[in-house]
Chain A
């Protein structure tokens, strides 16, 4: 079953602008991860944030986590054409190995 819900479903912005996408989840978590998937390809891990962290940065990426609202956001600053992809959040479950995936946000960066 899917726990994460992402919004927006699709986002189209101009190159150079910032892109923000959100993920909400239903039950308590230990970690939340963000992945990127270029069209029809494998997923690439972007960042993991633990439940006791509120914010994390990696290059042009900034992830926040609000456990009280059961939500996370991914901010990509100074977007580039190469950022065009689908972005998925994934949370863990009580059992090992299994990630619960959000529906994904399709990001299009217009040149």
Chain B
């Protein structure tokens, strides 16, 4: 299985809602990533988990809260988002997170904040 899956595909939420994005991989990868991508822009790194520990938090607002329950799963909890947080949220994984690692991306969750 060489796939990264993400649910849901689309999500519409109000600014007072709490929701979660889910990502799963069964490739035995030990590094997992959350990216945010706005239209016509490259992906922006948000968080990196390495061996289930948070390694990088790119100064992301606290209304985004990542969680890595086990080596296959990655969640992104959303609370009190702003309309400018509307974007494509991409999950990725790589073997160990080294400099020469290829990253495998999921199809993304298209998030709209009203």
Residues of A bordering B, CB below 8 Å: 2, 30-31, 33, 35, 40-45, 48, 50, 88, 92, 95-99, 101-104, 106
Contacts and interface: CB of A to CB of B under 8 A. Distances in A.
A48 B102 contact: yes
B4 A42 contact: yes
Contact of A2 (B42, B90, B94): B42
Interface in B75-114: 88, 90, 92, 94, 97-100, 102-108, 110
Given A45-B104, A97-B56, A102 B42 contact: yes
Interface stretch (B13-21, B43-51, B59-67): B43-51
Nearest to A42: B105
B43 A43 contact: yes
B68 interface: no
Give the interface SS of chain B, mostly helix, strand, loop or mixed.
Answer: strand
Contacts of A98: 45, 48, 56
A31 B42 contact: no
Contact of B88 (A2, A40, A101): A40
Interface in B34-58: 40-43, 45, 48, 50, 55-56
Given A48-B102, A92-B100, A96-B97, 17 more contacts: A2-B42, A33-B102, A40-B110, A41-B107, A42-B4, A42-B6, A42-B92, A43-B90, A43-B103, A45-B103, A48-B100, A88-B42, A96-B55, A97-B55, A97-B97, A99-B45, A103-B41
Contacts, number: 63
B74 interface: no
30 contacts: A31-B99, A31-B100, A40-B88, A40-B108, A40-B110, A42-B6, A42-B108, A43-B43, A43-B92, A43-B103, A43-B105, A44-B105, A45-B102, A45-B103, A45-B104, A48-B100, A50-B100, A95-B56, A96-B50, A96-B55, A96-B97, A97-B55, A97-B56, A97-B94, A98-B45, A98-B48, A99-B103, A103-B41, A103-B42, A104-B40
